[in-house]
């Protein structure tokens, strides 16, 4: 039985910034009070903030609406992080003793502390996930009490670029909101979609997003692998736009209307003609070739990350996310990987265990992540707004003294913040530039390592670029 408190959480996505306000009752029940979002164009890409000012202004707009509609002052918030810079790195810590000792909690804590001090150039540890302990040559999850002169601790460290957390703090501070804690969004989503029994048996969650595809692998109810691939559904859309010389909106519509992730040659489907930009027509098979080529590249990268765990995934692979609704995506994956266990598309549960009068999209992964953050949060994030006091009494006013009322008071004094201007939201750029430049070189090396680890694009797509001139009525070189 805890105290009643208001929790605020934010999710900074590539398509929108979302904020949620919830009240957790003393009995543990959750009431979602408010939900707001601001669209994002191109200033947050693959989870990386590229425009601090616009991000700050969007956060501030969400905060103001939540405050005004629910009569509270937001002091702090939890922020979920995702995107390309997230990844797991394994680490082993060993302690050797002169004689056999009984392994204690203090020894385990010392292993974890040593691991937590591990340095990664340009990155920082967001969360430490113990994997196993090796004692007397045997793997165990419960080493305390075992007699041994040596112990090895195996850990998975979830890391992200240091500049990612710096950017989040900079934008939240610019909106006058303290960051209560940073949560790893993919792990919260996995907690909702993967039952404990599946995580114990071994399973993987593949979240197909617009800009990225996130892979999470569990075995024995322990996270074994987390990686973010910098490819998503939007890459398919841009391929269509480039090859067919159409606008992005039309390309997205063509993808949703005619798209298939897998083309079964045995079906001998009769091709149809599709109108493109009004006066042009192409065969539907050509469009599907474009879509299938890029989809195959994405799935090859997914399988590249999963194949090392394939024998352990007894509960199979779960697909989710907006781009997972491409028809035949499960068959495309099975045909590519020859994975012999179940592959399922899983939507969000019909209920997420909360009360609200709001209309919320239950199928939205972002809503699930935000609500899970509300449940995890343990700090009061708001304060009440009292009636605004008079700045001075009329009878005390001296005509010879000019009193200028403040435009905004400090937090907790009850005045709703005014919109932050560009100048107000900008921190000391000169001070931060050196720190950002210092991390650039190490970040570029990390990016190169990720890119080198990705399989090459399949040959089908490159062939399409070369022989695409006969696909449209008017021949045009797609490389120009």
Cβ proximity of 218 and 203 under 8 Å: yes
What average pLDDT does the chain have? 81
| Residue 128 and residue 46 share a domain | no
Residue 120's CB: how many other CB atoms inside 10 A? Answer: 17
Round to whole Å and give the CA distance between 332 and 335: 5
Percent of the chain past pLDDT 70, that is, above it, reads: 77
Q: What is the pLDDT averaged over residues 104-110?
A: 95
Nearest 5 degrees, angle CA 30-CA 34-CA 38?
Answer: 135
Q: Is residue 421 predicted with pLDDT exceeding 50? A: no
Q: What is the pLDDT averaged over residues 448-465?
A: 45
Round to whole Å and give the CA distance between 118 and 128: 11
Q: Is residue 457 predicted with pLDDT exceeding 50? A: no
pLDDT band of 415, cuts 50, 70, 90: very low
The values of phi and psi at residue 332, to 5°, are: -65, -40
| pLDDT given for residue 397 in this prediction | 44
End-to-end CA distance of the chain: 66
Query: What b-and-e string marks burial along 200-229, b requiring 16 or more CB atoms within 10 Å of the CB?
Result: bbbbbbbbbbbbbbbbbbbbeebbbbbbbb
Q: Is residue 474 predicted with pLDDT exceeding 50? A: no
Round to whole Å and give the CA distance between 276 and 453: 37
| Residue 145 and residue 60 share a domain | no
Q: Is residue 439 predicted with pLDDT exceeding 70? A: no
| Residue 421 located in a structural domain | no
Round to whole Å and give the CA distance between 328 and 79: 35
Q: What CATH number does the domain containing 284 carry?
A: 3.30.420.40
Q: Is residue 459 predicted with pLDDT exceeding 90? A: no
pLDDT band of 352, cuts 50, 70, 90: low
Round to whole Å and give the CA distance between 318 and 342: 8
pLDDT band of 3, cuts 50, 70, 90: confident
| Residue 111 located in a structural domain | yes
| Residue 300 and residue 207 share a domain | yes
| pLDDT given for residue 272 in this prediction | 82
> 284 vs 143, which has greater pLDDT?
143
Q: What is the pLDDT averaged over residues 356-370?
A: 76
| pLDDT given for residue 95 in this prediction | 95
Separation of CA 242 from chain center: 27
| pLDDT given for residue 460 in this prediction | 40
Candidate from 41-55, 59-73, 119-133 with smallest mean pLDDT: 41-55
Cβ contacts of 411 within 8 Å, gap of 6 or more: 73, 75, 176, 383
Candidate from 125-139, 235-249, 272-286 with smallest mean pLDDT: 272-286
> 42 vs 162, which has greater pLDDT?
162
Q: What is the pLDDT averaged over residues 117-136?
A: 92
pLDDT band of 419, cuts 50, 70, 90: very low
Nearest 5 degrees, angle CA 417-CA 43-CA 54?
Answer: 20
| Residue 333 and residue 359 share a domain | no
Last residue of a domain, one of 161, 177, 207: 161
Last residue of a domain, one of 359, 384, 409: 384
| Residue 368 and residue 291 share a domain | no
Q: Is residue 56 predicted with pLDDT exceeding 50? A: yes
| pLDDT given for residue 316 in this prediction | 96
| Residue 321 and residue 238 share a domain | yes
Q: Is residue 471 predicted with pLDDT exceeding 50? A: no
| Residue 433 located in a structural domain | no
Map the chain to HEC letters: CCCCEEEEEEEECCCEEEEEEEEECCCCCEEEEEEEEEECCCCEECCEECCHHHHHHHHHHHHHHHHHHHCEEECEEEEEECCCCCEEEEEEEEEEEEEEEECCHHHHHHHHHHHHCCCECCEEEEEEEEEEEEECCEEECCCCCCEEEEEEEEEEEEEEEHHHHHHHHHHHHHCCCEEEEEEEHHHHHHHHHCCHHHHHHCEEEEEECCCCEEEEEEECCEEEEEEEECCCHHHHHHHHHHHHCCCHHHHHHHHHHHCCCCCCHHHCCCCCEEEECCCEEEEHHHHHHHHHHHHHHHHHHHHHHHHHHHHHCCCCEEEECHHHHCCCHHHHHHHHHCCCCCEEECCCCCCCCCEECCCCCCCCHHHHHHHHHHHHCCCCCEEECCCCCCCCCHHHCCCCCCCCCCCCCCCCCCCCCCCCCHHHHCCCHHHHHHHHHHHHHHHHHHHHHHHHHCCCCCHHHHHHHHCHHHHCCCCCCCCC
| Residue 204 and residue 121 share a domain | no
Of residues 151, 137, 33, 45, the one with CA closest to residue 92: 151
Percent of the chain past pLDDT 90, that is, above it, reads: 52
Q: What is the pLDDT averaged over residues 96-116?
A: 95
| pLDDT given for residue 404 in this prediction | 43
- Domain of residue 342: give its range: 196-348+455-471
Q: What CATH number does the domain containing 141 carry?
A: 3.30.1490.110
pLDDT band of 351, cuts 50, 70, 90: low
| Residue 398 located in a structural domain | no
| Residue 123 and residue 77 share a domain | no
Round to whole Å and give the CA distance between 180 and 329: 39
| Residue 450 located in a structural domain | no
Cβ proximity of 3 and 26 under 8 Å: yes
270-316 pLDDT, tens per residue?
778 888 877 788 888 889 899 999 999 999 999 999 999 999 999 99
Q: Is residue 84 predicted with pLDDT exceeding 90? A: no
Of residues 59, 62, 34, 36, the one with CA closest to residue 49: 59
| Residue 425 located in a structural domain | no
| Residue 444 located in a structural domain | no
Q: What is the pLDDT averaged over residues 15-41?
A: 90
> 466 vs 120, which has greater pLDDT?
120
| Residue 431 located in a structural domain | no
| pLDDT given for residue 45 in this prediction | 81
pLDDT band of 71, cuts 50, 70, 90: very high
| Residue 26 and residue 144 share a domain | no
Q: What is the pLDDT averaged over residues 331-336?
A: 94
| Residue 175 and residue 212 share a domain | no
| Residue 141 and residue 93 share a domain | yes
Q: What is the pLDDT averaged over residues 142-164?
A: 93
| pLDDT given for residue 252 in this prediction | 92
Q: Is residue 103 predicted with pLDDT exceeding 70? A: yes
| pLDDT given for residue 214 in this prediction | 93
Q: Is residue 458 predicted with pLDDT exceeding 90? A: no
Domain count of the chain?
3
| Residue 124 and residue 111 share a domain | yes
Residue 340's CB: how many other CB atoms inside 10 A? Answer: 9
């Amino acid at each position: 039985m805890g105290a009643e408190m208001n929790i605020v959480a934010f999710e900074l996505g590539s398509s929108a910034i979302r904020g949620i306000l919830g009240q957790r009752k003393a009995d543990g029940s959750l009431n979602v009070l408010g939900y707001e979002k601001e669209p994002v164009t191109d200033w947050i890409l693959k989870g990386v903030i590229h425009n601090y000012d616009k991000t700050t202004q969007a956060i501030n707009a969400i905060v103001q609406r939540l405050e005004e509609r629910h009569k509270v002052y937001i002091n702090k918030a939890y922020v979920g992080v995702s995107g390309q810079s997230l990844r797991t790195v394994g680490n082993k810590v060993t302690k050797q003793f002169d004689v056999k000792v009984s392994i204690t909690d203090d020894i385990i804590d010392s292993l974890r502390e040593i691991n937590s001090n591990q340095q990664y150039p340009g990155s920082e540890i967001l969360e430490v996930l113990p994997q196993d302990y090796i004692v007397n040559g045997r793997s165990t999850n419960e080493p305390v009490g075992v007699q041994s002169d040596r112990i090895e601790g195996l850990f998975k460290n979830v890391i992200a670029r240091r500049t990612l957390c710096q950017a989040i703090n900079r934008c939240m501070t610019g909106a006058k909101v303290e960051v209560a804690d940073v949560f790893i969004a993919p792990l919260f989503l996995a907690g909702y979609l993967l039952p404990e029994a599946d995580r114990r048996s071994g399973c993987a969650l593949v979240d197909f997003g617009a800009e990225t595809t996130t892979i999470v692998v569990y075995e024995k109810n322990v996270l074994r692998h987390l990686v973010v691939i910098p490819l998503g559904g939007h890459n398919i859309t841009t391929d269509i736009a480039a090859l067919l010389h159409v606008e992005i909106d039309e390309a997205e519509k063509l993808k949703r209307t005619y798209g298939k992730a897998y083309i079964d040659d045995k079906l001998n489907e009769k091709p149809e003609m599709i109108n493109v930009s009004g006066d042009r027509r192409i065969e539907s098979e050509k469009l599907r070739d474009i879509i299938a080529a890029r989809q195959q590249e994405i799935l090859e990268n997914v399988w590249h990350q999963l194949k090392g765990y394939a024998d352990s995934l007894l509960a199979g692979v779960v697909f989710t996310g907006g781009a997972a609704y491409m028809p035949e995506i499960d068959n495309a994956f099975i045909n590519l990987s020859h994975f012999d266990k179940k592959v399922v598309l899983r939507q969000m549960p019909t209920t997420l265990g909360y009360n609200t009068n709001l209309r919320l999209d239950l199928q939205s992964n972002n809503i699930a992540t935000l609500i899970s953050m509300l449940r995890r949060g343990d700090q009061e994030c708001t304060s009440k707004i009292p009636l605004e006091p008079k700045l001075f009494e009329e009878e005390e006013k001296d005509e010879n003294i000019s009193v200028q009322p403040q435009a905004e008071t400090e937090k907790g004094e009850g005045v709703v913040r005014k919109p932050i201007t560009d100048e107000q939201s900008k921190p000391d750029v000169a001070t931060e530039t050196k720190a950002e430049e210092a991390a650039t070189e190490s970040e570029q090396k990390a990016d190169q390592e990720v890119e080198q680890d990705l399989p090459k694009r399949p040959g089908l797509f490159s062939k399409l670029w070369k022989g695409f001139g006969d696909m449209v009525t008017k021949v045009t070189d797609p490389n120009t």
